[in-house]
A and B are shown apart, each in its own frame.
Chain A
């Protein structure tokens, strides 16, 4: 008997050859949700009946020879910031409790047109304003390997749903790292495309100039398949993968590697060694003003989030979770001149990332400096330095929301306790397909399929 499909690409082949059916796959996912959602709190809404009906329709179409492409019949979840016609878009907030979306977000329409089955909507840090998923009107989402830990955030329910086998991929949003952080700490692949590339219409904003949408999934190939559909084209292979021996990657050692949990540092160093063993050329690059990134990011995200929430903060402050409310209020005190300074600094960082990529295929760095943190922990000590968990989790990701470059997070190892550790590959601005080719070349060395599958906890596995 063939192994159960674990990636979208594998599932698609199994659906075409009728080794399985979309209906059977959806039933297994719904069963998994029924068994595990009370523990993980990954889903806010599950579209059981609609998913079953879509699965039956997909099976009928595939049987009739009308295969729409690799997403046809594939169960996908959505972070609950994406509008689905007739359903609430809660943003994990009581502020939105009477909301009903009038139409699907364009990205959801694209997924449906490609035949994807929307199985439900996932938990998140309220309004995507946090990295741990702890502040949610629905309670925290929890890590599939250790429910006492955070699955990361803000797209934490999305990552938990994919890592636990409740679906094959999830759509997330990324304003400072909210796709890549949960993907990394849950042992998954997360793609943040180039800024402005994918439509954010019908998605609740956090910071309009920093927001991105993208997939969380189990392989680089799957990320490419979803990216193609979201770009408005047919899902297709992303060209011939680059020969790893031809890869040239820059390592931004200063700042980005200067504050890492020892196990993360060790896993990243080992991944670099494996890339060198495969023939890749790695050299050191610099983002000279990386030390200014946190200040630049903070002034932009606070200002833009406050602009969106100001009216509701006045009218219904008690409907926000206390931590999110108070940080949104902080944004109302940022002065215009400092926002303007931050915009100037943002362009500087963009130029410096461009310079780091000059003559290279990508920049390679850790995704999150720590493994999944325990829920309720406010700060973390690395060596002699104690920092808020939020600051540490954003440290390696937020630069590329400022710069807008496409970035892909992928697994690169585990801690001794089996908690996943992730790395990131940064690609040239405006060339997400190029990044995907580089990531396909990096993936076998950095996160061999065996390792990636070790993180799969869904049906067919024993715990």
Chain B
């Protein structure tokens, strides 16, 4: 879903639910999501990874001390 499509749907849904005050927050979230999606470190299914290596494990490991 594109951010434009998502934002239109989200604002419509919020209004339908009686939450029109969500609109400016959703617009701010859309700007933040846009930044997230365009970051160059995102994975790419073509294999054209822009990072020099994969970020690795996403599971926090507090025992990983140095």
Binding site for B on A (CB under 8 A): 194-197, 209, 289, 292, 294-296, 298-299, 302, 326-327, 329-330, 333-335, 338, 341-348, 350-351, 404, 428-431, 434
Contact = CB atoms under 8 A, between A and B. Distances in A.
Interface residues of B, number: 32
Contact of A344 (B19, B32, B55, B60): B55
A209 B60 contact: yes
B33 A338 contact: yes
Contact of A327 (B25, B55, B56): B25
B34 to A, nearest CB: 9
Interface string B3-45: 0001000100110000101100110010011011101011100
Nearest to A358: B66
Contact of B36 (A197, A295, A333): A295
A277 to B, nearest CB: 29
Given A197-B62, A330-B26, 6 more contacts: A289-B41, A299-B33, A344-B42, A351-B55, A430-B62, A431-B65
Majority DSSP secondary structure for residues of A touching B: helix
Nearest to B39: A292
B55 A347 contact: yes
Nearest to B51: A348
B63 interface: yes
A196 B1 CA distance: 34
Contacts of B61: 196, 430
Majority DSSP secondary structure for residues of B touching A: loop
Contacts of B66: 428-431
B42 A347 contact: no
Instruction: Identify the interface centre among A296, A429, A431: most chain B CB within 10 Å of its CB.
Output: A429
Instruction: Identify the interface centre among A294, A302, A330, A334: most chain B CB within 10 Å of its CB.
Output: A330
B55 A348 contact: yes
A195 B62 CA distance: 6
B46 interface: no
B36 A329 contact: no
Contact of A194 (B25, B55, B62): B62
A171 B35 CA distance: 35
A208 to B, nearest CB: 11
Task: Sort A-B residue pairs by CB-CB distance and give the 9 closest, nearest first.
Answer: A430-B65, A347-B55, A196-B62, A295-B32, A295-B35, A295-B36, A431-B65, A333-B10, A194-B62
Instruction: Identify the interface centre among B19, B25, B62, B64: most chain A CB within 10 Å of its CB.
Output: B62
Contacts of A345: 36, 39, 41
20 contacts: A194-B62, A196-B62, A292-B36, A292-B39, A294-B32, A295-B36, A296-B36, A299-B32, A330-B22, A333-B6, A338-B36, A338-B37, A341-B36, A345-B41, A348-B41, A348-B51, A350-B55, A351-B56, A429-B65, A430-B64
A275 to B, nearest CB: 22
A424 B24 CA distance: 33
Contacts of B62: 194-197, 404, 429-430
Instruction: Identify the interface centre among B29, B42, B51: most chain A CB within 10 Å of its CB.
Output: B29
B2 to A, nearest CB: 11
A234 B36 CA distance: 44
Instruction: Identify the interface centre among B13, B35, B41: most chain A CB within 10 Å of its CB.
Output: B41
A333 B29 contact: yes
Contacts of A295: 32-33, 35-36, 39
A335 B65 contact: no
A345 B10 CA distance: 24
A299 B3 CA distance: 14
A295 B60 CA distance: 20
